[in-house]
Amino acid sequence: MKRKRDDMEIVWQTPANPPERHDYIFLNGRRHVRPYYFEFISHVKNRWAGKTIVDLFAEEFKGRPYEYYVSAVKSGRIQVDGQIVPVSYIVRSSQKLSHFLHRHEPPTMACDISILQKETDVLTVCKPASIPVHPCGQYRKNTVVGILQAEDGLAPLFPIHRLDRLVSGLLILARSAAKADLFRQQIEAGKVKKQYIAKVIGVFPEDEVRDCCGNNPLNGKAACTKFTRISTSGSHSIVLCEPITGRTHQIRVHLQYIGHPIGNDALYMSESGAARSTEGLTADRAAIKSGSSLGSNFSGINSIHKHEENPNDDFSIDPMCTNCPSLIPKGYEELEEGLWLHCVRYCGPDWFYECPYPDWASLS
């Protein structure tokens, strides 16, 4: 879709526009996305009906000031059913809302995504920490799926399991919807086992530890993890973690509970960490708000991207954008690195995939 601005023709992207290699800027060890014009589409929920278009956006999408939404409606950057409306317009249930904006994505660490195995219907990679798996929130192109499509031409890809943004390691992606469904059926049937390694504080017990939070479940659900010490230096230990269930932050919560939190986990190294995580903050944002920082997680598996840094690369400055002229969106200025938590193995009834250990797993 194209629209004219006073000094240029704007090309608005939608989720149908694939990421491309030239979309990325590498600067100071971080991978940035060149800001781009994007159409966010949503539909009026029943609880939104009856509000003015400006009040709806100001109340439901709090990332920008009220005055911005007034200007966006007046200029046609916000439309209803494809039409420009007055700021006093009252929305009705199910109407289509379009928000045309200058999109800035948060940066990630500038690491390559190492391809481990490339089969006809399955791709496995070593996911670097700091990069989300698939589009979510403010991330769209700066994701594993987006980068693999832009740099390796690999699409479509269907992630078959979760891996938190700050966690590294094995990621399995199906190359067809049918293969993805087969994996998901096996996971839901409890036929898939997974293993992680973590670097924790202190001397972890030599005997196997099994932590099952039946009386104090995570988010109201029972959770269980088996831990086995691999090695220890006295100050830190490398621990094999085998989740029996799959809950959000399960390994991190259980390690904190048994007194050996992950050594650079700013969220769960304090007693208030679990409480903060249930207040709606992601782990990384909560850690930044608390003033903590995460330790380094660079490893030899995911090398720094071979692309030369391009500090002089220009990007369009939009006069209405609340992030310009900065390349980085507000709230993401801090450099975030990865946790000492790494997925090493997934196995099913007749298959298994593995990922090498990261550098931090050596205590020598």
What residues are annotated to the active site? 164
How many other C-beta atoms can be found within 10 angstroms of the C-beta atom of residue 252? Answer: 27
Coil vs helix vs strand at 111: strand
**Is the link from the previous residue into 217 a cis peptide, with omega within 30 of 0?**
no
Structure tokens at 237: 């230990």
Q: How far is Cα 2 from Cα 108, in angstroms, rounded to an integer?
A: 30
The helix or strand, by DSSP H or E, that contains position 26, with its residue range, turns out to be strand 24-27
Best CA proximity match to 117, nearest among 352, 334, 360 = 352
Residue 225: which residues within 8 A CB-CB, separation 6 or more?
210, 211, 212, 241, 242, 243, 244, 245, 250, 251, 254
Residue 319: which residues within 8 A CB-CB, separation 6 or more?
none
Coil vs helix vs strand at 263: coil
Sort residue 76 into left (φ over 0), alpha (ψ -120 to 50) or beta.
left
